[in-house]
Amino acid sequence: MKKTLSLAMLIIGTMIGAGFASGKEISAFFGDNISIFVAPLVGLGTFLLCYLFCTIGRIFKQSDFGAVNAKLLGKLRFIADVFLLLNSLIVLSGMLSGMDSLLNTIFPISPAYSIISGILCAIIVSKGLKGLLKSNSLIVPFIIFFIVLICSFNINATINLKFEPFTLPSVVVYVSMNIMLACTVLTTIDEKPKTTFWASLIAATVITVIMLFVILTINSQNASSDMPLITVALSTNKFLYYAAVAVVATSIFTTMLTAFSGLSSWLTPIFGNKFAIIISLIGGLAVSNLGFENVVAYLYPVIGIFGVIYITLCIFFLAKNSASLKKLLDKRNRKIHNRRQKA
């Protein structure tokens, strides 16, 4: 159960970054009067894709996503690697710029905020996957509780029960954009199907509930601002405002951890672990100069569109090689069973 919850917290922590927790990402993709049906659709997509990439990780048992891409896509590996590398870089830069944008409203000393949080993130990532899982397990429950609390005081009575068909492509691109970051870690996790199934389901359910609260809060309430949820909290009272700032800052950090981990793991075989972490930090800080709003508005949708292509290729490969992959898993399970009997 502990492994299941740790994995679920990792998925949630990856998705609830600056854009999600502040409401900016959601309003950028779905507008200022969002249907409540968007949330369960996003949750369903999250469950399916998380379980898909966890299954890929269980099949290939690789320690980095570059090796996974080599087995998944063969000659197309390089293109996939570059895409996922850029994805991690863009998300990392978005989180760093988001940290400056958020905390600069309290005390304007940017880029000190992004530099300090980036260095702290580098230290945790250097500890490996265990450090990543432990950090998310400690931080994410705090984020969930306070987002729901803040939204509870500001839920808009107007509920949009309509769902326009043209919203569906936005849902697909949005889920794809979020999962592209998580997949760099999920494809390197080797866990039992039961563990990954329940972890994916728990994460998807929590994402659905939190997104529903955020939608009901930001609908027609400063949805166009840089960080809508922060703006709404500020108009309510000072306690909720500072709580919202703390929650968004923490959310930024959890997503930053996964992005940093994905970027540095790709660079490690080339430069070694220490220099990969340094290069990741410098690269993220450099791109973050574009600003939080520009990264979310212009670069995130690009990630989502290319992510749809990547996911389609992964599904095609698994379908095409289902028979041989089943034999591989059966053979591996027999070996595990034989070892247990000898023990």
The residues near 51 (Cβ < 8 Å, ≥ 6 apart) are 196, 197, 200
Residue 131's CB is within 10 A of a number of other CB atoms, namely 15
More confident residue, 45 or 264: 45
Q: Is the pLDDT of residue 295 over 60?
A: yes
In a domain? residue 338 = no
CA dihedral for 141, 20, 247, 134, sign (positive or negative): positive
How much is the pLDDT for 211? 93
Task: pLDDT band for 39, please (50, 70, 90 cuts).
Answer: very high
Q: What CA–CA distance (Å, rounded) separates 32 from 156?
A: 12
Q: Do the Cβ atoms of 49 and 311 come closer than 8 Å?
A: yes
Whole-prediction pTM value?
Answer: 0.79
Under a CB-based contact definition with an 8 Å cutoff, are residues 20 and 214 in contact?
yes
Quick one: what percent of the chain has pLDDT higher than 70? 88
Per-residue pLDDT band at 157 (split at 50, 70, 90): low
pLDDT score for 42? 95
Residue 6 domain-assigned (yes or no): yes
Is 131's pLDDT higher than 70?
no
- Using alpha carbons, select from 22, 309, 55 the residue that is nearest to residue 143: 22
Whether 102 shows a pLDDT value over 70: the answer reads yes
Mean per-residue pLDDT of the chain: 82
Mean pLDDT throughout 225-233? Answer: 80
Residue 132 covered by a domain: yes
pLDDT at position 57 is 81
- Report the number of distinct structural domains present in the chain: 1
Please report which confidence band the pLDDT of residue 166 belongs to, taking 50, 70 and 90 as the band edges. confident
pLDDT > 70? residue 252? yes
Whether residue 318 is predicted with pLDDT greater than 80 in this model: the reply is no
Q: What is the CA radius of gyration of the chain?
A: 20
Q: Is residue 147 part of a domain?
A: yes
- How confident is residue 41, by pLDDT bands cut at 50, 70 and 90? very high
Separation of CA 222 from chain center:
24
Torsion sign, CA atoms 80, 81, 86, 89: positive
The verdict on residue 341 lying in a domain is no
CATH code for the domain in which residue 246 is found: 1.20.1740.10
In the predicted structure, residue 12 carries a pLDDT above the cut 90: no
Give the pLDDT mean for 262-266.
81
Domain contains 332: no
Does residue 327 lie within any of the structural domains? no
| 152: phi then psi, degrees, rounded to nearest 5 | -60, -30
Could you tell me the residue range of the domain that residue 209 belongs to? 2-322
38 found inside a domain: yes
CA separation, residue 199 to residues 4, 207, 265 (Å): 5, 12, 23
